[in-house]
Structure formats: C-alpha cells, structure tokens
Structure 1
Amino acid sequence: MAPQRFHEQFEQIQRSMPDTPLAMGPDDSAEFIYEKGYVLVRDGEDARVVEDTVRAHFTADPDLVQDHVRRAGPRTNRSGITRIQVGDPGAGDRSGDPTVAHALRALRETEGRAGRRLVSRNHLVGITGDVNSCPGDEPAPAPLADGTNPTAAEGAHDPSSAVGVLVIDTGLMHDYRSFPLLAHTEGDAQVQECDEQGVLRQYVGHGTFIAGLVAAVAPNTDITVRNTLHDAGAILESEFGEKLFEAVDEGGWPDILSLSAGTSNGRTDGLLGVEAFMRELRDQRTLLVAAAGNNGSATPFWPAAYADRPDYQDVVLSVGALRGDGEFGACFSNHGGWVKVYAPGERLTSALTGFDGPVPYVYQHSTYDACRYGFGYSCTCQSPRHTGLLSEPGGTAKPDQVMFEGYAQWSGTSFATPLVAGMIAAHMSAQAERDPRVARYKMLAANSGYAEVRGAHVPALRPPTWRPVPVTPPAPRS
C-alpha cells in the first residue's frame, strides 16, 4: 500500500493531467506512476512484434479485449518510440492496470528470444521522486537578511569563458531578475504561477530555485532554464525524450545539463523513452548531472542511474542529498552504489518569488509525527511543522498559509544536484578546463570529503560557501 504522501500527490498530479488516466505501479505500490491502457515501444519492427504478440495473447484470453490493441498515434520524431493501446484507459481504478500487466507478461518470452527489452509501461517522469512525487518537502519562507545558502562565491562573469548550464525543470518566475545572482540567466517563463485566488501553485519556482543555487556556487555561468516540467512537475515518458531533444536543440548542447527529475521503473536497463536521447548525449561532450530521487530507496532512479552503467559512467553523474549538517545522508535521499556523489540537499536557501511583493502559499501536505524513513533527527518529514490541504480531507483542519518575499528554504536531491553542477562549472572556470567530463573526474579525484549514508562512506561535495544547518532531535508535537 502506497504511503499517505504518495496518495496525496497522486491525486494532485491526476487533477493537473485530467485527460491522462494514471495508475500506481506496480499494484498500488509507491514505486512509480504510469499511464493506464498503454505501453511504450520502439517504432518500426518492434512495434509490429508487440502488436502481434499482445493481440494473439489477448485472443487466447476471453477476459481481455483484443480490439483494444492498436497504435495510439505516429511515433515521435527523434525519440523513435510510440504508444500502443492495450486496454481501456478509463477502466479500473488507480491501484494498477491489469491489462497493461497482461501485455507486459505476453512479451516476456519474445523479449527473451530477442535478448533485449521490447516494451515498457509509459511511466510518469516527475520532480525527483514518486514516493513524494515532489522535492523532499515543501518550501518555507526564508528572510532576505539571512542571505542564500550557499552564499555567492567570489568571481566575476566573463561572457568569453562562461560555462553553459542548462536546467530542465519548471520555468522562471516573473520576478527572477530581481535576484542579482540570476543576471546571466535566460529561458522560459513559468506557466501560471498562482491560482485564481492569487495563491502560489505547488511546484512553481522549482526551476528558479535551482538556477539560483547554480549561480551562487558558480558565478561564471550562463544558465538557461527550460519549462519542460510545468504540469505539476511531471511529464509522460513517451514525451520526455522528445522534450529533452527540444531543450538542447533550442540552444545547443550545453557544457552541463542539470536535471532534477526522473522515475524508477523496476528495471536496471534504463528508460525506453529516453533511449535515443541518451545515445546522442553519449556522443556529445555534455555532462548530465542528475538527481537520485527522494524515495529513501536503493531502487535505481532514471536517468540518474545511468551513471552506474559502464557505457554511461563518463556521461552521467548521479547526486544524492546530505542532511543539514552535511555529515550524513538526508532521510529522503535515494542511495546505493548507483548514486556516485552526495551534496547538501536539506534546507538550502535560494530565490523563489515575492521580490515584487508578498505572495501567499498554502501548504499541501501535513508534516509527520515521526520520520517516514525511521531517522531520529529533526528531518523535513517533521519540521517545520505545518498542516496541509491535501492531508486533511473534508476540511477537518485549516491548512497553514505562509508568505514568500523573495527567498525560500527547500530540501531534496533536486537541490543537491545544482550544487554539484555548479561546483563542476566553478572547477572548469578555475582550471580553464573546457571539457566538463574531464573536470568532473579531476574534481572528484581531488576531493577528500566523505559522508556516511546508510552505513556506507560515500564521496561528498560541499560548496565552500555552504553553511551547515544545525541538526537537532525532533521536537514533540504540541
């Protein structure tokens, strides 16, 4: 049974994507979200094999509807994949899709003979995590007088040598230029920042916050933010690869691509929907710095987990999150051998919105009495205390409202990731190194920092201007 936070986020995402029926997978667990009624395949011969095999399987089973098996539309241009309908997307409930499961089982023997995967669910790719389907917590207002954390590193912006960083995320808030560190940031505007009542919508500001962290750590950067994940911070896998291509096509392949989104899929061979993009990325000089996700799990989270595949070890760097003191892993951070480096990711401070005047935000989730992952410090599960709208069905308690006036404090591997991207960019500037993949290896080879994550000693990168946040035992709930 999926945890409470996952159910709350599932409902929120489904409302933002009303024309795309979604299910939890597998079988009402919190491992991932996927599209009901459809599977994802490579276009061409693979699609024909999948159609024929599934149709034959369904014909032999009277409980399945063979007439549903058909292509859902033309393939995407460069991702080379297509959706095949295998059932009625409107049938059943959110706890899973038996028809999709039947279709996947029908292909197992065929995949075994082919020696490769032919079909997958059409997963929902979200802002670093499906247990949360969001960052490690919701943002909290931070005083402008306290500054950002990390604070701005010394150094000037030089257009002739600036490192190009592409952030694929939500878009830039309308007042982002009021934050001086983002003077050299361009990109897409955030779609619909507030609801009809003028209340800040969930997830907005995520991309702006990330850009602020990159700029704080690496002032000699040209940052571009693409609004690829504007729908509740999520997109279907069938669309994700094409959107990645569009993002790099618009401005060219960057030095560093900072990505704070992904999904698990129960497999160790990656995502079918980004297969073509990852192949092309491998042939470029761009370094993909990708968030490991916020499920508190060792299950591979893609695209970050490509860092553990031999053919992508030079191409992808996966990033987990450390707690506020930087000495141990944050409770929410994914972990395991596929996570290659960790950085502070709890209660960082950056730009959000409200520079032009206070903007209200209503919390969507209530904090917990104890850490969801069994940790004993005062983590983001418990602090700061608030009551959320989605956690109180029927209006049994009034949700807490806060006002943002520029800065926010926020947690997640979403935000550890741009710190690492920024540190690599800063290393490139300091060492006049033009190859980001070489810079990554040189920086990690020279790094002497380690932290403890789930009993393992792991490489840790801590920006020089980052200030540790004291870690205290959890306070009793009043």
Structure 2
Amino acid sequence: MTAFLEPSDDYTAGDLVVDHPHRELVKKRIRDLGLDVTEVADSEALGLSRLHLEGVPAFGASKGLPADDVAAIELVIDELRQAFAADFGGWVPEMAPDPTMTGIVGYPHTKPMAFTTDLMPAPASQAPIADSTVGAGVRVAVLDTGLVDHPALKGHATEAPGGADAANDPVEAWAGHATFVAGLIAQRAPGCEIVVHKVLNAHGRATNWETAVALAKLADDPEGYAVVNLSLGCRLGGPNGPLALRRAVARHGRHTLLVAAAGNHGGSDKPTVPAWPAAFPGVIAVGATNLAGDLAQITPELPWVDCVAHGSGVTSTYLTDVTLTIDDKVLDFTGYATWSGTSFAAANVSGAVAAALRPGERPADTLARLLGDPASDVRPFPLSAAGHAG
C-alpha cells in the first residue's frame, strides 16, 4: 500500500450502457461508425445491456482528443444521439458511458490530505460495541469492499455469499473500508443485522454497472433491508446521473432507505460537482461534521445534501495485525483505526436510523424524527433542511 486512489472521474474505457429493447439498433449504428461492438452483460432488473466498444481511443483521436483519452466514449455517444435524432424526429434511445465507482475516502474524493483522511491506528476502547438489542429486527445492507473477519463484529456483521477477506493476506488500506463502516453501524445499533455485499475490489473500485446490478439485486432480497448504506460514488454521469445507477435506485421502494456519502470534494477545485448516487432523488445524501459538530470542510455545500453526521475523526473496527505505509509513515493496525470522510458520516446515519426504527415505521419517517430531534447528532443540512428524498 503506497497511495490512495485519485478521484473517480474516469470511464470504463469503451463501455456503453443502453436501454435493452434498443440494443440491436444501437449496435448497428455503432458499427456504422466503424467501431466493433460486443454485448458483454445484460440486466433484466435494470432493463439495460452493457456494450463494449473497440476502437474508441482511435475514434477520439480522429476528433482531436489524445489517443488514450477514455472520455472519447462521450464523442461516440454524441455521434449516435445526433444520428438517432435526425432519423427519428428527435427521439434518442437511452444510453450512457459506464463510469468507475470508488469508495469515498480522502480529499477531494479518494486522494489523501492529512486534514481529511487521517487514517491512524486507534485503541479498541474508542470504538465500543455494546451488548445490546438496540436495532434488533432491523436489516442493514452495506454495499462496499469485502468484510474482514473481526472478533468485535461477530454476531453483528456478515458478508453475503462470496467469502470474507482473510485479515493476514497482503492488503491495502481499502480492504478495511467495509469493516470500518460496519463497525460504525454496529456501535449505533448493536442489535441490528448488518450484511456486507462486496462490490468494490481490493483497490476500492468497481464499474458503475457492477454497482448498479448489486444495488438492484438488494431490492429483490426476500427478507428485505430497512437501510442500504452506500459509502461509494462517482462524479460523472451528467445532470441526471449514471444511467444504470439511476435505474437501480428507482427499484427500491418506500420501505428501504438508501443512505449515501455526499463526497469529500467540498474543499476541492470542483466543489459543485454532484456525487452519485448521493445526488439522486430518493437517496439520503450525507455530509460530515467534526467532533465539535461543525461542518467538515470536505462536505460539498450543495442543495442535494440532506443531512450531516459525525464523520471527521471517527473510530471503528479495521484491519487486524497489518502494517501499512501511508504518507511515508509506517503504521501498525491492531483491529481499530481513526478515519475521516462522508463515507463514515453516512454509516453513522444508517446506524442511527437502524437504532431508532419503530415496528411498522418507514425508515424515511424514522430519519425525519431524528432530524427533528434537537438531541440528535444527525442534523438537517444547513442549506437544505427539507432535502430531496422522496
């Protein structure tokens, strides 16, 4: 482990997501542009197909872009849209690039800065998980990296089929992200059932398609989830957000609360860029506060942010018996760490809702109660107390 990831402002090179009923029409038009195309995935739940295009960099270079610019896929889509609009009276099938998702850690999104990341070893005494039934009967899904086997999380968190990462394998700091998130939720609601669904790889990345398919699958879980924690995101997708992720969000009903990190780019040179899925209607976008309760600089001060919670300098479960080199410092982790980010503010909101949920109550109504409680540390965002959640 030597460095964190750069901000997730890139595309999966040459991949295109298209409305399933029109995929053959789109493939034909792609070939008309001189590009080879293969259908590599299909999702009935999303009603979408994923296409892989060959020759996209060369196409972009022919239009004046650098030969390795993966944003050339946008030029391909623009050409397709113009052709469809000309032939069909302005009608264009839904299609979009496939952005890369990452866990939201660091500054401005996943890049280290000492005043925002502050990943440091911590003692177990700073992250107690009580022997309590608070949150009992509530299921919380965490879409994230894999769950590391941790003694403090036994009986609190499990990983969905696929297997947990072994704690003594060579790892990067990212490997502890889901474990940290799960620990924060368990601190708030020790009686709830936390199920980690691994979608981010060992480097903290996934395609938008992979994330959307996993999120859509949660909507069909036979036992259901009251809360889905999404401490991940991307900053590409246009004004309406990435197509596949938008479809996945829409599949979740009113009995599930989607809670997402708002992004850590509030103090960056792109502070107004939306982070997805947080910026979607129907998703609770969470910003971070510091120990004093003040807004953390990393939080984007934007109208789609719904609420804030403690996310700066929080302590939770982490990797065990691992030595990492971060910012040229050799750090020994023994199961607990202190970390900062809206990822962890989102986890605190998920845990607070799980702890306060009443039988038969909609999770969105539970959150509304918390936001109206002066004693709650989950507070409405100053610029948008009403938020955008449906």
**Which interval holds the TM-score relative to the shorter structure?**
0.7 to 0.9
Check if 1:97 corresponds to 2:76.
Answer: no
Check if 1:81 corresponds to 2:48.
Answer: yes
Check if 1:322 corresponds to 2:289.
Answer: yes
Cα distance change, pair 457–97 in 1 and its aligned pair in 2 (3 A)? closer
C-alpha separation between the residues in 1 aligned to 2:364 and 2:92?
29
Cα displacement string for residues 278-297 of structure 1 (whole angstroms, at most 9, x for unaligned residues): 22203x51111111112222
Cα distance change, pair 219–39 in 1 and its aligned pair in 2 (3 A)? same
SS at match of 1:331: coil
* Structure 1 equivalent of residue 79 of structure 2: 106
Kept after mapping to 2: 8 A contact 1:82/1:238: no
C-alpha separation between the residues in 1 aligned to 2:356 and 2:67?
46
* Structure 2 equivalent of residue 410 of structure 1: 339
Check if 1:139 corresponds to 2:139.
Answer: no
Letter in 2 for 1:137: T
Q: Post-superposition shift, 1:350? A: 0.6
* Structure 2 equivalent of residue 423 of structure 1: 352
Check if 1:442 corresponds to 2:372.
Answer: no
139, 162, 178: which is aligned to 1:164? Answer: 139
Letter in 1 for 2:367: R
C-alpha separation between the residues in 2 aligned to 1:359 and 1:280?
39
Q: Post-superposition shift, 1:158? A: 6.8
312, 322, 340: which is aligned to 1:346? Answer: 312
* Structure 2 equivalent of residue 222 of structure 1: 193
TM-score of the two chains, using structure 2 as the length reference: 0.81
C-alpha separation between the residues in 1 aligned to 2:46 and 2:204?
21
232, 257, 262: which is aligned to 1:287? Answer: 257
Cα distance change, pair 217–182 in 1 and its aligned pair in 2 (3 A)? farther
27, 37, 49: which is aligned to 2:14? Answer: 37
SS at match of 1:240: helix
Q: Which has the larger radius of gyration?
A: 1
C-alpha separation between the residues in 2 aligned to 1:270 and 1:90?
24
Kept after mapping to 2: 8 A contact 1:87/1:100: no
SS at match of 2:42: coil
79, 83, 94: which is aligned to 1:118? Answer: 94
Cα distance change, pair 78–52 in 1 and its aligned pair in 2 (3 A)? same
Letter in 2 for 1:36: A
* Structure 1 equivalent of residue 39 of structure 2: 72
Q: Post-superposition shift, 1:80? A: 2.4
Letter in 2 for 1:318: A
Cα displacement string for residues 121-150 of structure 1 (whole angstroms, at most 9, x for unaligned residues): 110111126954368526210123x422xx
Letter in 2 for 1:360: T
Kept after mapping to 2: 8 A contact 1:172/1:187: yes
Letter in 1 for 2:370: M
C-alpha separation between the residues in 1 aligned to 2:121 and 2:67?
34
SS at match of 1:406: strand
Q: Post-superposition shift, 1:433? A: 5.2
Q: Post-superposition shift, 1:34? A: 0.7
Letter in 2 for 1:420: V
221, 239, 264: which is aligned to 2:210? Answer: 239
Q: Post-superposition shift, 1:40? A: 1.7
C-alpha separation between the residues in 1 aligned to 2:67 and 2:370?
45
SS at match of 2:286: strand
213, 231, 246: which is aligned to 2:184? Answer: 213
Kept after mapping to 2: 8 A contact 1:292/1:320: yes
Q: Post-superposition shift, 1:31? A: 6.6
Check if 1:274 corresponds to 2:245.
Answer: yes
C-alpha separation between the residues in 1 aligned to 2:225 and 2:50?
30
Cα distance change, pair 324–156 in 1 and its aligned pair in 2 (3 A)? closer
Q: Post-superposition shift, 1:205? A: 1.2
Cα displacement string for residues 259-308 of structure 1 (whole angstroms, at most 9, x for unaligned residues): 101112252212211233222203x51111111112222221111111xx
SS at match of 2:76: helix
Kept after mapping to 1: 8 A contact 2:309/2:379: no
Cα displacement string for residues 213-266 of structure 1 (whole angstroms, at most 9, x for unaligned residues): 111112231111122213412111122222223445556320111110111225
C-alpha separation between the residues in 2 aligned to 1:156 and 1:278?
32
* Structure 2 equivalent of residue 469 of structure 1: none
Kept after mapping to 2: 8 A contact 1:73/1:83: yes
* Structure 2 equivalent of residue 256 of structure 1: 227
SS at match of 1:407: strand
* Structure 1 equivalent of residue 274 of structure 2: 300
SS at match of 1:352: strand
Q: Post-superposition shift, 1:79? A: 2.4
TM-score of the two chains, using structure 1 as the length reference: 0.67
Kept after mapping to 2: 8 A contact 1:79/1:276: yes
Letter in 2 for 1:300: P
C-alpha separation between the residues in 1 aligned to 2:218 and 2:378?
34
Q: Post-superposition shift, 1:193? A: 4.8
Q: Gapped runs of 5+ residues in structure 2?
A: none
Question: Over the residues paired in the alignment, what is the CA RMSD in angstroms?
Answer: 3.3
Cα distance change, pair 31–98 in 1 and its aligned pair in 2 (3 A)? closer
Q: Post-superposition shift, 1:192? A: 5.7
361, 366, 371: which is aligned to 2:324? Answer: 361
Cα displacement string for residues 194-215 of structure 1 (whole angstroms, at most 9, x for unaligned residues): 55xx5x3230111111111111
